[in-house]
Chain A
Amino acid sequence: MAVEVPFGSSILDAARAVQVDIPTLCKHKDLLPTAACGLCIVKVGGSRKMPRACATEIEDGMEIVTHDAELTEIRKATIELILSNHPNACLTCGRNGDCELQTIAGNFGIRQDVIPRYVRDLEPDCSTGSIIMDFTKCIKCGRCVQVCQEMQNVWALSFLERGINNRMAPAGDISLSESPCVRCGQCSAHCPTGAIVENDETTTVWEALRDSSKYCVVQVAPSVRVALGEAFGYPPGTDLTGKIYSVLRRLGFKAVFDTTFAADLTILEEAAEFVDRFASGKGELPLITSCCPAWVDYMEKRFADFIPNFSTAKSPQQMLGVMAKTYFASESGIDPATIYQVSIMPCTAKKYELERSEEMYASGHKDVDVALTTREFARMIKQSGIAFRDLPEGKSDSILGTYSGAGVLFGNTGGVMEAALRTAYFMVSGKNLEKEAINIMPVRGLDGIKSAALDVQGTEVRVAVAHGLGNVERLLLTVRQARRNGEPPPYHFIEVMACPGGCIGGGGQPYGVCDELRRQRMKGIVDSDLGMALRFSHENPEIKKIYSDFLGEPLGEKAHQLLHTRYKDRPAYQR
């Protein structure tokens, strides 16, 4: 079979271009090859050497054998070797049924342990409350280390020791929570096995739902609706908002809220902050977004000199939490102490955000009680016996449930910026952007750093958007440099999301993330915005109502007390 591919392609990519799947456990589409697992060996020409397809560039005229009896035998032996260092614990593993190693062992028909098993006796690291690292299940592919060091520039994980003692862990004998880890969970999203998984809290939620003294309410984040379907056979990007509302009611939640409503609320506060700083000169520029808890943690540990630039507006999750336990509770006459709030998030760091500072208890209670990732939510639905695909479309509650298209955009990179600019423009000029200017195209897409200059009533507003923490440093260094030189800031407004693609590529989303998948999920988000009559956060009737009935003005005293937070300088290493 002849194949023509761009110069520099690997043998692995060339094979994929002609629908040939060479097995691999270490190569990930987001990452550079490490040639660690040894499964992608191929034969080239008549040579007896068997190069690894992931790390071998294809050359003109190469003749490659990807599958034959000998290669299959060697691959099988390699899998048996990997399994000999892996606990036989599939049935109780967090990746059971959705594991690359399990799948490949199944595909190769491994039916017995050929090599005596040696598994190191190491305790799992549960210290972060967001992710669980079980070193015994590690196959040393190196993905998590590359994700943590290169893609995210966090450097919490490293490859320590060598040979049989080699393991991925934070530097020195410390736990993850004492390391620079920001709990973004990208390591768990890229791990081929159950070595890094989300901290599963579905049992806690089931117990709450079965507790008649608790009034269980729930909120669902924008990006969950376009990714959850992948766990139920829908194409990526399918917007399942209606079915999600239905299933949440069937699961027993007494009120179903939408985090997207609180995204609109965040925009009102954040856009007001921006206008205050930009037009009235009150406070530092650039203003930097703070909805992403992994980014907040990263900033506090690495860029604490930017604290004055950070928007003090809480994230949508926390804003919805406090509104449910204050406004909703008083409107519906429910004792907020009995309200138990669950959030469905694309994110492992959201579990950390619930308790990150005292402001997360602004209602007088813990504003959000537990955060589940999309993966845990899918598991709950499957466990419940509800035929998700056959469900009718449901509705959210009419209080804290209505949202604008701008709010949905929060689910992907550039979305907070776009939504904020739509409302900031209105706040400055008193009128909405023209229909053809509503879509702010330069901040969309998957480029690591995006920038744009917009004309607001004759004044230039310069904005930048970064996603994937690995892209942040470069951007912030230009700002720091300008500040040192006493120059005006290169940007007035910066959005950062920790995960590549933003929340649609979050560390708690269904497995298999890569740019192709991110684009499909992003299309779901953008289409949802386009399909809505309501495109501006400030036009959301529920938002208007909540300000007139309860909050007063954006940045007003009550808003400040309930919807804003503070930041502090934290050491990257605690010991």
Chain B
Amino acid sequence: MQTATKSPLEDLDTEMRAEIRHCLDKWKEKDGNLIMILHEIQNRHGYVPRGASLFLAQETGVAVARIYEVLTFYHYFRLVPPGKHNLTVCNGTACYLKGSGRVLGELERRLGISEGKTTSDRLFHLETVRCIGYCAMAPAMVVDGKAMGKLTTDDVASVVEKIRKREEGESNGQSRN
């Protein structure tokens, strides 16, 4: 049962190290800085890579365990890279009553993933949120930052298929070049 002697940090690139050191310099004098630093990392990468957490722990003396307690407590933080296209289904009261369950169910079926997950080709990330203030248009969802309302399951299907077609076209175009 011999344990490895190589630290996972050895693989962390210098760019990430510099970026985290930069964040640290900016926030080190302020209270509650851990969350702000994690925000910056996520904003830049779309998620908080494990290497970033390990390095941050080493630089600040805050335990990795504590950093993960924070990361997993807040719904906002992600530990895996997001998909290329973000689908956020509103699950607020109005949308819920107007059938957000059907919208979500259709997306889960079409994408083959459950809420909070990313497809294995990293094309789609599916999540829910508690009200986007679009109640008059319930049930609603946000597709890559753009809100859509009064959704039917057919609408949902066509959104997914449109993105898929576009992506296929792009990759075919690339392969011809």
Contact = CB atoms under 8 A, between A and B. Distances in A.
Interface in A545-575: 568-575
Contacts of A574: 3-4, 8
B2 A357 contact: yes
B117 interface: no
Interface in B148-175: none
Contacts of B8: 571, 573-575
A171 interface: yes
A159 B69 contact: yes
Contacts of A575: 8, 50
Contacts of A571: 4-9
Interface size classification for chain A? 20 to 34
A170 interface: yes
Given A177-B3, A574-B8, A162 B65 contact: no
Chief secondary structure at chain B's binding surface: helix
Nearest to A148: B65
Contact of A129 (B1, B2, B66, B69): B1
A432 interface: no
B42 to A, nearest CB: 16
Interface string B35-55: 000000000000000100110
B54 A161 contact: no
Contact of B72 (A149, A162, A177, A569): A162
A180 B67 CA distance: 14
B68 interface: yes
Nearest to A165: B72
Nearest to A157: B65
Contacts of A171: 53, 64-65, 67-69
B79 interface: yes
Nearest to B80: A173
A356 interface: yes
B68 A352 contact: no
Contacts of B68: 158, 160, 171-172
30 contacts: A149-B65, A149-B66, A155-B64, A155-B65, A155-B66, A156-B65, A158-B63, A158-B65, A158-B68, A158-B69, A159-B69, A160-B68, A161-B73, A162-B72, A162-B73, A170-B65, A171-B69, A172-B50, A172-B68, A172-B79, A355-B1, A355-B2, A356-B1, A568-B5, A570-B3, A571-B4, A573-B7, A573-B8, A573-B64, A574-B3
Given A172-B64, A573-B64, 12 more contacts: A149-B65, A156-B65, A158-B63, A158-B69, A159-B69, A160-B72, A161-B72, A352-B1, A568-B5, A570-B4, A571-B8, A573-B8
